[in-house]
Amino acid sequence: MPVTAPRTVPETTIGFIYPDHAAEDDYPLAQRLLGDVAQLSVTHIYGTDLHAVAELLDLGSEQRLAEGAAQLAPLSPDAVVWACTSGSFVFGRDGAAEQITKLAAVTGTPTSSTSFAFTRALRALGLKRVAITASYPDDVAALFQEFLAAEGVDVVQLSSAGIDTAAEVGNLRPDEVAELMTQGDHPDADALLIPDTAMRTIALIDPIEQRIGKPVLTANQVTIWEGLRLAGAPTRADGIGRLFREGDADAF
CATH of the domain at 46: 3.40.50.12500
Contact (Cβ atoms closer than 8 angstroms) between residue 197 and residue 218:
no
Q: Which amino acid is at 174?
A: P
Contacts of 55 (CB under 8 A, 6+ apart): 47, 48
Number of independent structural domains in the chain:
1
Q: Do β-strands 39-45 and 79-82 pair in parallel, antiparallel, or remain unpaired?
A: unpaired
pLDDT digits (tens, 9 = 90+) for 32-47: 999 989 999 999 999 8
pLDDT tens per residue, range 161-197: 999 888 889 889 999 999 988 888 999 999 999 999 9
What confidence score (pLDDT) does residue 2 get? 46
Q: 218-241: per-residue pLDDT in tens? A: 999 999 999 999 999 999 999 999
- Give me the domain span that covers residue 234: 1-252
- Against a cut of 0.75, is the pTM above it? yes
Q: What percent of the chain has pLDDT over 90?
A: 85
pLDDT digits (tens, 9 = 90+) for 74-105: 999 999 999 999 999 999 999 999 999 999 99
Residue 203, Cβ density class (10 Å: 0-12 exposed, 13-18 middle, ≥19 buried):
middle
